[in-house]
Amino acid sequence: MRGNFGKRGKKEASGKRIGKSRVRKVAASDKPARTPKPAYKKDTSRSSVSKPLNIPKKKDISETIRLNRYIANAGVCSRREADTYITAGMVTVNGEIVAELGAKVKPSDDVRFDGRRLNPEKKVYLLLNKPKDYVTTTDDPHANKIVMDLVKDACPERIYPVGRLDRNTTGVLLFTNDGDLSKRLTHPSHKMKKIYQVSLDRHVSKSHMEEITEGIELEDGLIAADAVSFINNEDKSEIGIEIHSGKNRIVRRIFEHFGYKVKKLDRVYFAGLTKKNLPRGKWRFLTEKEVRYLKMS
């Protein structure tokens, strides 16, 4: 066998120049390779070492943000619209006009649009269907349950409730980090529409319903509902009331003025927002359409 194999090797070498060494290499390729294993381990060790070394570079890059995105995150407009304002010279960075598209800024920079300083934090708008027994506050060491517990994992931004609902009142509650919008929605001059469904301990008389719409005198002044009606004609203890006042516990105090006891109070509408398809205790982010509507209100 050895002599025949050698002759075949010589014959092939004369034609295709494939010698014994070449044959041995081909034969070796059919066997499990030993050298790739340590090479593979070596490559893996290199990659595991190199990744931590690249982390600082990624952090350095993330410290800057495109100017149009900075403006959009501040809630001024979309990125495309921001480009128009930038080229028009309406944006300054640290006191200087920046008209270059693609310019980048740092979160610590003083960025102003039309003279007003912007906050780069992304604006968040969230709607909660508040359950009973939760206090509307960002922090209260004396309360067992606060509304922030229900939305704490919703987003990394720090949001807060717009307005207040007392502990026993349920329903629509808005959260945001948009301070300008929050002030506008809660300021009495804007008269934001709110609708409540009230469950009372007994039927409400027609005369009391009329007085509520005409106006009654409470300890903190005159108050009148924009509208009031029965939820249905059969149960006259279920009342729907529309009011724009933001006074503390105002709906409860209106009915307590006539000696009624409020068993349940649910806010079903606030500034165009409803709790439709939102279960009690659950939350959702507002749609772009809803946000636009709030800002136009």
Supply the range of the domain harboring residue 283.
125-188+275-296
List pLDDT tens digits, range 133-189. 999 988 888 888 999 999 999 998 889 999 889 999 999 999 998 888 888 898 877
Q: Which of 290, 267, 288, 277 is nearest to 78 (CA)?
A: 288
Which residue(s) pair with 110 in the sheet?
none
204 and 145 belong to one structural domain: no
Dihedral sign, Cα of residue 92, residue 94, residue 98, residue 101: negative
Of the chain, the percentage scoring pLDDT greater than 90 comes to: 53
pLDDT value, residue 111: 94
CB 195 within 8 Å of CB 269: yes
Inform me whether the pLDDT recorded for 204 exceeds 90.
yes
Structure confidence by residue, pLDDT tens digits, 253-272: 999 999 999 999 999 999 99
Instruction: Check whether residue 133 and residue 116 sit in a common domain.
Output: no
- Residue 78's pLDDT is 77
User: Region 219-234: what's the mean pLDDT?
Assistant: 91
Q: Please report which residue ranges of the chain form alpha helices under DSSP H.
A: 2-16, 20-29, 36-62, 67-73, 79-87, 148-151, 179-186, 206-214, 250-256, 288-296
Q: List pLDDT tens digits, range 25-37.
A: 444 445 555 544 4
Number of structural domains (the chain) is: 3
Q: Residues 56, 99: one domain?
A: yes
Residue 143 has what pLDDT? Answer: 86
User: Per-residue pLDDT for 42 more than 60?
Assistant: no
Q: What is the 3-state secondary structure (H, E, C) of 70-138?
A: HHHHCCCCCHHHHHHHHHCCCEEECCEECCCCCCEECCCCCEEECCEECCCCCCCEEEEEECCCCECCC
Tell me whether residue 166 is one of the annotated catalytic residues.
yes
Task: Name the band, by pLDDT with cuts 50, 70 and 90, for residue 38.
Answer: very low
Residue 189 has a CB neighbour count (10 Å cut-off) of: 5
98 HSE (CA, 13 A, CB side): 21
pLDDT of residue 34: 53
- Specify if 15 maps to a domain: no
Could you report the per-residue pLDDT of 79-91, keeping only the tens digit for each? 888 899 999 999 9
Q: Is 113 a member of any domain?
A: yes
Mean pLDDT of the chain: 82
Q: CATH number of the domain that 209 lies in?
A: 3.30.2350.10
Regarding predicted confidence, which is higher, 296 or 153? 153
Q: Is residue 264 part of a domain?
A: yes
Q: Which of 140, 166, 180, 201 is catalytic?
A: 166
pLDDT in tens, 109-130: 999 998 888 877 788 999 999 9
Residue 85 counted as domain residue:
yes
